[in-house]
A and B are shown apart, each in its own frame.
Chain A
């Protein structure tokens, strides 16, 4: 192929994607970082501030206490997803791929359904379910004589974050399930058949044959969970508002960013400080993704059939 034609084809095929990606992803990203180096003045102008915003954010207690609190909460939010959402997703995928399962498509659709619902709907529905005034959770427990176990979970500092995390797990469990399920389907029957001939039962075949083959997918699911969790915002905002109460117990990086950038009630938004928070979020996610790529991804063995 002559070089001119090749270049034209290159531009033709890559150009649109590159353009869209640059305009909607790269440019806002760089603009945010640049913005975080200025300080926003009351009259709307900006002054060069170097790394001043970051110094304030990390070391001035007025900012650093909320920042570390949000970061800690975000890690708990992520850990709950890793420890509950992904294992449950794996379990569901394993169950779905059982050869003699009936109503497979129905289960798959039902479990995946919440993922497609709006977060506002999810937040509202769960607030009603868990409401101490008219929620069915309380009545349900009372039916079994367990009414004493009920507490206004969303309103307690000790349980609010866990409750919100589990609601998010409930919503998104369909994603690891569907990804892992697809990976399981891709495993050739011969491998499982051979294992069966060798005397492995279904459970053993899953642990020793199928699981090693889907590690790359589980790794992918984990990193997706990490990125989504550290970008999370909407569920907390929908259920607990921008102040993420009680006493900032449900405050995560997304809500801290929102409050800082857009303000709240009488607090005016501060675009440059907000950009600094956003840049920190980018850094955290970048570090996590890099660690995954260099430490985990390389060691995962892949098999092709």
Chain B
């Protein structure tokens, strides 16, 4: 039975199919979910490539982020997907590779420009085959409004105590929303909340790997404390934060009505467009912690459709993606997306540079639900969205949230069943 929604989706796929069909014949089509960046691809990235390779034409054909995975799968199954595929990290792309939709890229010469950590999101479990060129990572932290901080005489908080003291002062003043985030879309709570401040508690990679090999549990104090800290955010969030969506949050901060924004670095360009005088500080250290950890998440790779009619040209393009030239364009034109290559990239954007400086000061990790742990049912990432939002909404205790995550993971993940 086809539901109404499915029908709409299929219609969409058919329409997209018709569009992508028109672009064939010497042209490489790029599938992507970054429709926000379409202009930059068209005006900067593609012209730079075509200048060096005038015989290859590139077309950037993005889909809406929410629909990307479903639409891409449908197009690949129907044999109508573009030549170049922008890769989601970890399992979504790994499955495409296992089904034979993505080609191995081991023989690309510029693959040497990437570290193993950068490649880990697009490499098979045995580490032998890499199927997407790592393109960009995103870093979590907090963006703040410098004008408001100046007006209220505040400085960047370094520890959690300072962080809550700053929030308290903004709240006491009453003019601005102290901390901008909503729980309506759920993922904000998990990604900008839990995964943002969490690495300081579970010690980044150490905690993440312990979950994977089964020596760590989501009920460990580190995770309960992360949730407990998240729960303390609630009094400082905007009025009615329970119905505040992600675009609401962006607007609230972008209009200068909020002081601190729980951020992903990709928001930088949004706020630049609204002329916000902003700075950034990394997740403040919990009491007693000396080392800092940041979420420096491998977010975007780019690979080749195994059934492309033009594999030679596609490889030329992907090889170019691995060069320093591309890293420079990406880092500077899309502030907040940080190139993963080892090339030295000078960023012109101060805020983006602040984010990237943390790589030297702190240890990097990726979001702990992304590798392996979200392969079963119930899905760990979905569960994290749900319980993080509930903890902040005050409808669930930190202990109950941690217990629900652990129970769910234990149901299907063997290393956690010992």
Chain A interfacial positions (CB closer than 8 Å to B): 28-29, 32, 42-44, 62-63, 127, 130-133, 138, 151-157, 231-234, 237, 240-243, 245-248, 254, 257-258, 261-269, 278-279, 281-282
Let me know if A131 and B5 touch, CB within 8 A. no
Let me know if B389 and A152 touch, CB within 8 A. no
**Set A43, A127, A246: member contacting B245, Cβ < 8 A:** A127
Closest Cβ of chain A to B184, distance in Å, is 5
Q: Which residues in B have their C-beta under 8 angstroms from that of A153? A: 243
Q: Which residues in A have their C-beta under 8 angstroms from that of B370? A: 266
Let me know if A245 and B379 touch, CB within 8 A. no
| B2, CB-defined interface residue at 8 Å | yes
Q: In the complex, what distance in Å separates the CA atom of A32 from the CA atom of B3?
A: 11
Closest Cβ of chain A to B74, distance in Å, is 9
| B295, CB-defined interface residue at 8 Å | no
**Set A157, A240, A243: member contacting B382, Cβ < 8 A:** A243
Q: Which residues in B have their C-beta under 8 angstroms from that of A127? A: 245
| B223, CB-defined interface residue at 8 Å | no
The chain B residue sitting closest to A242, CB to CB, is B66
Q: Which residues in B have their C-beta under 8 angstroms from that of A265? A: 187, 381-382, 385
A247-B1 contact, Cβ under 8 Å, with A43-B99, A265-B382: no
Q: Which residues in A have their C-beta under 8 angstroms from that of B240? A: 131-133, 138, 151-152, 155
Let me know if B382 and A264 touch, CB within 8 A. yes
Max count, chain A CB within 10 A of own CB: residue among B66, B184, B408: B184
| B242, CB-defined interface residue at 8 Å | yes
A241-B186 contact, Cβ under 8 Å, with A152-B240, A152-B241, A267-B382: yes
Which residues 356-406 in B have Cβ within 8 Å of A in the complex?
369-370, 374-375, 377-382, 385-386, 389-390, 393, 395-396
Q: Which residues in B have their C-beta under 8 angstroms from that of A267? A: 374, 377, 379, 381-382
> Other than the known A29-B2, A131-B248, what 5 A-B pairs have Cβ atoms closer than 8 Å?
A127-B245, A240-B184, A246-B186, A269-B70, A281-B1
Closest Cβ of chain A to B254, distance in Å, is 12
Q: Which residues in B have their C-beta under 8 angstroms from that of A282? A: 1
| B294, CB-defined interface residue at 8 Å | no
Q: In the complex, what distance in Å separates the CA atom of A257 from the CA atom of B377?
A: 15
Let me know if A264 and B3 touch, CB within 8 A. no
Q: Which residues in A have their C-beta under 8 angstroms from that of B1? A: 28-29, 32, 278-279, 281-282
Q: Which residues in A have their C-beta under 8 angstroms from that of B8? A: 234
| B205, CB-defined interface residue at 8 Å | no
